Amino acid sequence: MTFNDAKGLSHLTRVTDLKSTAITFILELAEALKTTNSSPLLLKEKSIALCFFENSTRTRISFEQAIHKLGGFPIDFKPQESSLAKGESFEETLHTLKALEISAIISRHSNDDFSKKIAEYHILPVVNAGDGIVAHPTQALLDSLTLKSKWNSLEGKQILILGDILHSRVARSHYELSQILNYNVKVAGPEEWIPSWAKQSITKDWKSFINDFDAILCLRVQKERMENHTTNDDYLKNYTFRESELKKIKRPYLLHPGPVNWGIELCESALKHPQCLIHEQVRNGLYLRMALLSYLLNPVESKKWKNNNGP
Ligand code: CP
């Protein structure tokens, strides 16, 4: 059901590591953990290292909280305060963590293939919490959990991804997930921010068709991945989701992975709109990450728990 390496370690580097049956299981387990408000000890006494080379609030804290709630111990590995700063290699760092009885590593890094490289060492299971501009699999999965709770299934749904597609690891993970869960991704954004993989999916004049979409996912303008970026008038006029668009929406749900640059991607009053799911996304991140870690690190007991408590 999942990508197991030659040593039998289960990793999540991209959503494509998971078969659709595994994704369905994780989403159903997350829903069951949420609705029963349960904290089964599926990670009992497991220590899991969080290794974030980039800033984070939602992803990092939700993983930490998920590990706590499941009876495990989150270990805060601070790269800049570790022996990496003295020149120790990452491979040797992984061996060191393993010798200290760490069960898995959760990583975020600006390099596109960072978690894949960790997986290739075959030392510890790795969960990707954001790699460069290519993958943020748990964000796409938690967005799917959020939308699934509204529709039951994502199959055939039309999702517009809006803004800075090029620098977004969330957009890329959604594109991959859409091919597994059979939803349709359209994109709209400045031409220079449309990567090659999204060119077939461009929607011009998205504002005229706003109620044709089932969900609209606004993306953060990722200034830290650009040189000399200033948000220009063209962006604000054509791609900011403003009050005028907010007034029109009836059908689509409104999402944003956060953090939001208010007034650039989205007007602040969106938070009060009944179709806005931004805070639900954050909450669902906790349950999705509880389910994912349980599935990867304790699949047998996770299945037993879900059989007794889930659909
Ligand atoms: N969506 C997301 O990854 O947010 P953080 O950077 O706060 O983790």
Taking CA atoms only, the protein residue closest to ligand 1 atom 1 is 257
User: With bands split at pLDDT 50, 70 and 90, how would you rate the model's confidence at 231?
Assistant: low
Ligand 1 centroid to Cα of residue 217, in Å, is 15
| Percent with pLDDT over 90 in the chain | 90
Q: What is the pTM of this model?
A: 0.96
Best residue among 54, 57, 136 to mutate for probing ligand 1, ranked by most atoms within 8 Å of CB: 57
User: Strands, E, within 142-197: which ranges?
Assistant: 158-162, 184-188
Structural domain spans, the chain: 15-135+285-304, 137-282
Cβ 257 under 6 angstroms from ligand 1: yes
pLDDT of 252-296, one tens digit each? 999 999 999 999 999 999 999 999 999 999 999 999 999 999 999
pLDDT of 134-155, one tens digit each? 999 999 999 999 999 999 999 9
Q: Is the distance from CB of 233 to CB of 272 less than 8 angstroms?
A: no
263: region left, alpha or beta (phi > 0 left; psi from -120 to 50 alpha): left
Q: Would you say residue 222 has pLDDT above 90?
A: no
Ligand 1 centroid to Cα of residue 129, in Å, is 9
Taking CA atoms only, the protein residue closest to ligand 1 atom 5 is 56
| Percent with pLDDT over 70 in the chain | 97
Domain 137-282 has CATH 3.40.50.1370: yes
- What does pLDDT average to over the chain? 94
**Ligand 1 atom index nearest CA of 60:** 8
**Ligand 1 atom index nearest CA of 257:** 1
What's the pLDDT score for residue 8? 77
- Mean pLDDT in residue range 25-31: 97
Q: Would you say residue 129 has pLDDT above 90?
A: yes
What's the pLDDT score for residue 3? 59
Q: How far from 40 is each of 47, 59, 213, 232, 302, CA to CA, in Å? A: 16, 21, 38, 49, 9
- Domains 15-135+285-304 and 137-282 in one fold: yes
Write the CB contacts of 138 (distance below 8 Å, at least 6 apart in sequence): 12, 59, 127, 128, 129, 285, 288, 289, 292
Ligand 1 centroid to Cα of residue 57, in Å, is 6
User: With bands split at pLDDT 50, 70 and 90, how would you rate the model's confidence at 1?
Assistant: very low
What's the pLDDT score for residue 310? 80
Q: Would you say residue 207 has pLDDT above 70?
A: yes
**Ligand 1 atom index nearest CA of 285:** 1
Q: Would you say residue 4 has pLDDT above 80?
A: no
Q: How far does CA 290 lie from the centroid of its chain?
A: 13
Taking CA atoms only, the protein residue closest to ligand 1 atom 4 is 58
Q: Would you say residue 304 has pLDDT above 50?
A: yes
Cβ 258 under 6 angstroms from ligand 1: yes
* CATH among 3.40.50.1370, 3.10.290.10, 3.65.10.10, 1.10.10.60 for 15-135+285-304: 3.40.50.1370
Residue 137 structure tokens? 């699999």
pLDDT of 39-52, one tens digit each? 999 999 999 999 99
User: With bands split at pLDDT 50, 70 and 90, how would you rate the model's confidence at 5?
Assistant: confident
Ligand 1 centroid to Cα of residue 56, in Å, is 5
